[in-house]
A and B are shown apart, each in its own frame.
Chain A
């Protein structure tokens, strides 16, 4: 790990400012031409054309809010996973949440959606999110069980089990793809690229309360995570309840990623690159890294979603494509720069 490069204040203040400007700015940007003055009136519920207030209040503001929360959750979970597994390649997917969630969603789309004709209740909006959430939780639980013996949980075994179980989930996904009809295939492909378009106020409330819970508990464990960076044995000798810590963090990340995947589908790369960017700015201290990751994650997803809404309007590009398109080259550049140090 590299040395601390900047004072926390010189990082946090500009990042928070940019985030605030972007958040407000993206309310003014969109496929529908709305002047700043009209948007302003719509935000503060003053008199304005009804379709403008609908777009501002029910499309743009909810999306900005959802982006901020989901981006923050994914990035924080990524930072914690990388710390816990002491592996720079770890992302929330490593414990199987994403793979399991994808499998659950595929089951819902391929197997249960056609059945919905006969059982109208199944046709509700909720089938895919619920199945994604259940799938993600079950697979994480399985990976955790595989990594746990009477001597405690081994992160190395969990890492390998996560890869193996994700591959297994991928195979099951392939099988479902094989039997899916064209429509289900298309739905599945679009779901796996992620979208922040399904914004109900209930979704937003859920995302923000998840964020609040995660921020509180992860921040609470930041010092222990710092000790963990020295090694598991060292952390234990420092008097840290290592097993409880691992269980708690895995549970928190699984819930965080599971909820965000079930609300927005698969949005890749946020959880992988943002923690690296954060470490580059403030170093590996989790007390700073976790909140900074939250800010940066929200910022990245916000920018990506603004592009997703406007690039191919009136249609919409799945946001996962943009985060990967922007994220991958950035990550490669980061690796290139760090080659000597790793």
Chain B
């Protein structure tokens, strides 16, 4: 019995130290990782692991270099490209079977073992700059442009974004005239969640010239009580297009969630839908266009 206890103890100890060894291995792999290989647009085979990354590749007109995307990028190619699944569960062999030269991913992509093995197989793993501000988006565009060799297209795209951004900036109403806008995430069987700071939709609200009262209190998407929502007294409520369609329109939404009807937004029926792709991942180009469209909707009358 004592020998058994000892053995089990040893096994348990190994179980807890295994991750540390893995960590050490990873550190070693990273220190030996190959540096930037100059990209060659003609032979590039790129896998995009994120909707906002695929959006940039298409906006730069570099989609011929794409060989596969993740599950959220379906909209851009309608299933004509293979789907590598969820960007946090990438598979080594599945990806290598596509003989990619480059994987472009966000900071959240993983697991680390897969990324490490891909690097070992001479696949360049480019992790894009994170963040939901326009400057972050521009940084990401620059990174993708460098990978794809589409730098002139990037210059034009940047100019377009700068134009749009300064237009949005000019349209900003004075602070006391800004409307209070919240975004509500509807999920079957869970309470309503509000979008707080560090979400693309928070930036959209800011860009459209409104304030997001939830941003001061919460980070990312969190469930909110009806009382908290009533206290915020939003003038406008945004919901994603898909959930609004699923529930059957604004009327049905107000019947399903009666407390929304007593907010200023509900009373004036100022509940608007926002296009889904501008919400997934990080702030993208379509997010800016959505901000412009919503600005017109909210301040247009």
Contact = CB atoms under 8 A, between A and B. Distances in A.
Nearest to B222: A181
A210 B10 CA distance: 10
Interface stretch (A28-36, A90-98, A146-154, A267-275): A28-36
A314 B1 contact: no
Contacts of A124: 19-20, 22-23
B158 interface: no
Contact of B7 (A30, A179, A203, A213): A213
A31 B93 CA distance: 7
Contacts of A125: 19, 22-23, 26, 111-113
Contacts of A59: 92-93, 117
B156 to A, nearest CB: 33
Interface string A1-37: 0000000000000000000000000000011110000
Interface residues of B, number: 49
A31 B94 contact: yes
Given A31-B97, A130-B16, A55 B22 contact: no
Interface string A217-246: 100000000000000000000000000100
Contact of A202 (B1, B21, B95): B21
Q: Which DSSP category, helix, strand, loop or mixed, fits chain A's interface?
A: helix
Contacts of B96: 32, 51, 54-55
The secondary structure that dominates the B interface is: helix
A46 interface: no
Contacts of A137: 12
Contacts of B222: 181
User: Taking each of A60, A125, A186, A213, which has the highest tally of chain B beta carbons within 10 Å of its own beta carbon?
Assistant: A125
A206 B15 contact: yes
A130 B16 CA distance: 6
A314 B85 contact: yes
Nearest to B9: A255
Interface string A246-286: 00100110010011001000000000000000000000000
A55 B93 contact: yes
B22 A126 contact: yes
Given A125-B23, A202-B22, A206-B18, A309 B86 contact: no
A181 B21 contact: no
A92 to B, nearest CB: 16
Contacts of A187: 88
A178 B94 CA distance: 33
A175 B94 CA distance: 35
Contacts of A320: none
A50 B20 contact: no
Nearest to A49: B121
B11 interface: yes
Given A51-B121, A126-B16, A316 B11 contact: no
A58 interface: yes
Interface in B17-58: 18-23, 25-26
B71 to A, nearest CB: 7
Contact of A313 (B8, B89, B94, B122): B94
A87 interface: no
A30 B98 CA distance: 12
Interface of A: 30-33, 50-51, 54-55, 58-60, 124-127, 129-130, 133, 137, 178-179, 181-183, 186-187, 190, 195, 197-200, 202-203, 205-206, 209-210, 213, 217, 244, 248, 251-252, 255, 258-259, 262, 309, 312-316
Given A32-B97, A314-B97, 14 more contacts: A50-B121, A124-B19, A124-B20, A125-B23, A126-B19, A182-B221, A203-B18, A206-B15, A213-B7, A213-B8, A251-B4, A309-B91, A315-B71, A316-B94
